[in-house]
Amino acid sequence: MKILNNFYNTPSALLIFTTLFWAFNTIFGQLAVGEISPLQIVPLRWILVSSVMWFIFGNDVKTNWQIIKPEINKIIFMALMGFTGFNVLFYTASQYTNAINLGIIQSSVPVYVLLGAYFFYKTSITALQGLGVMISIIGVTIITTNGDIEILLNLQLNKGDLIMLVACLMYSYYTLSLKTRLQIPGIAFFTLMSVIANFLALPLFIIDYLINGINYPSINGLIITILVAIFPSSLAQIFYLRAVDIAGPGKAGIYTNIVPIFSSILAVILLNQRFEIFHGISLVLVLSGIWLSERK
């Protein structure tokens, strides 16, 4: 118990495991291809997560309901963008691109957040931050074109990478909204979001039936869904919220830059995916751009 208590009060340890679990999500996304539909894995994961979270922390939500009620429409839209919508596009993108690309593109979220803060909150951007944004955009462009400029000139971009870019824009909106989120305990807020995400995702079962007919997930697909529910969906979010409470959002945000590194290593080891030169160049550019964009 002492070890667990020390772990739960050490932000660096919490954040390393958070980013590792998020990186594993790129692997799960690849393993899910052919085993379970993206329109099935999203509602199933939120059914599992919300059921457990409500059982443990539902009373915390009920206690804060009078505070929550006036903001419920905003919270619903946050859940739609950051939890349901992002994950549908994430697992759809996994059908068309690899885990290395997913991890590197996902690491561009802090740059989109910086740009969003500038346009929507009038937050100033320094010349150094602007340079960081440009470098990151170049890095993302390299990964979406596989390092081939002719692909960009002919507008023959990878469908999966483009879908992932849209997913990152949605998650960036969610992240920006956290700046003005309802001030209730983080664990209660996540519980509420997971329940809302669950209800928003349920119609996906109907959409999947209309598109694919009766299409049951395989045993492997169900196992993958359980792993997704436990690690990136629950533990990572709980660890992240705890780390933010201890160390603040600034330090927590820096650690998210580790995700593409973990994703690349895991993809090479577990999926035998090739790490090409353009992956390395893109990774360096995106991480360098993020580092510069976080300078004041």
- Is pLDDT of 148 > 70? no
Which has more confidence, 134 or 166? Answer: 166
Mean residue pLDDT across the chain: 84
Residue positions counted in the chain: 296
Banded pLDDT at 147 (limits 50, 70, 90): low
Predicted confidence band at 166 (pLDDT cuts at 50, 70, 90)? very high
| Structure token pair of residue 22 | 């998020």
Q: Which residue did the predictor score with more confidence, 80 or 159?
A: 80
pTM higher than the cut 0.95: no
User: Could you tell me the pLDDT band of residue 84, with boundaries at 50, 70 and 90?
Assistant: very high
- Identity of the amino acid at 178: L
Decide if 93 contacts 20 (C-beta within 8 A): no
Residue type, 23: A
The SS3 assignment for 146 reads coil
Tokens matching residue 212: 């694919």
Give percent of the chain above pLDDT 70: 89
